[in-house]
Amino acid sequence: MTEPTGPDGQGGCNAEDVALLDQWHTVYSGFRRLTHELLADVESETGVAPSSFEVLWFLVMRPTRAAQMHQLSTVLGFSTAGTTKVVDRLAEAGLVERRPSPSDRRVTLAVLTPVGAEVAANAAQILSQALRQRVLVPLGSEGFTGLAAAVATLGADSQGCPEG
């Protein structure tokens, strides 16, 4: 393996850095590939696109089953235009409704409909089955629990949520 070099073609990474970067690439690309496969399973079984499922699942997990549009953008990492496009598609399908916020009429909420909740529950069931097949079988329950606990500790200080 050739060592990556700096922008000037000099220096570069030492062997330990190269090994670390290679391990990270393996984790990152494996996670991306797995996520793509899991969401493709959901889409093929339900017709719900990955971005739509992310919005539905976020809303179904909220006690009010609603969220501000800018909150969806921030939490899901979508652009404002991308969020609008996904929510528009979900609204056209009758899975969410757009409503003004009762506390600030300048704010628009995306609100899960009863049909949207059913679709989200069905998609979540498909995702659970895919996770069992693609993750629990190879890792085992303890392995997956350990992986989830380890990943939960990463970047915790950058989440902006107070502890306790």
Burial 55-65 (b: 16+ CB within 10 A, else e): bbbbbbeeeeb
Assigned token pair, 77: 């990492």
Residue 99, C-beta contacts closer than 8 angstroms, at least 6 positions apart: 66, 108, 109, 111
Contact 98, 90 (CB under 8 A): no
**pLDDT by residue, tens only, the chain of 164 residues:** 555 555 545 557 889 999 999 999 999 999 999 999 999 999 999 999 999 999 999 999 999 999 999 999 998 899 999 999 999 999 999 999 999 988 888 899 999 999 999 999 999 999 999 999 999 999 999 999 999 999 999 876 644 444 43
Instruction: Please name the fold of domain 16-137.
Output: Arc Repressor Mutant, subunit A (1.10.10)
Dmax (CA) for the chain in angstroms is: 60
Report domain extents, the chain.
Answer: 16-137
Q: pTM for the full model?
A: 0.77
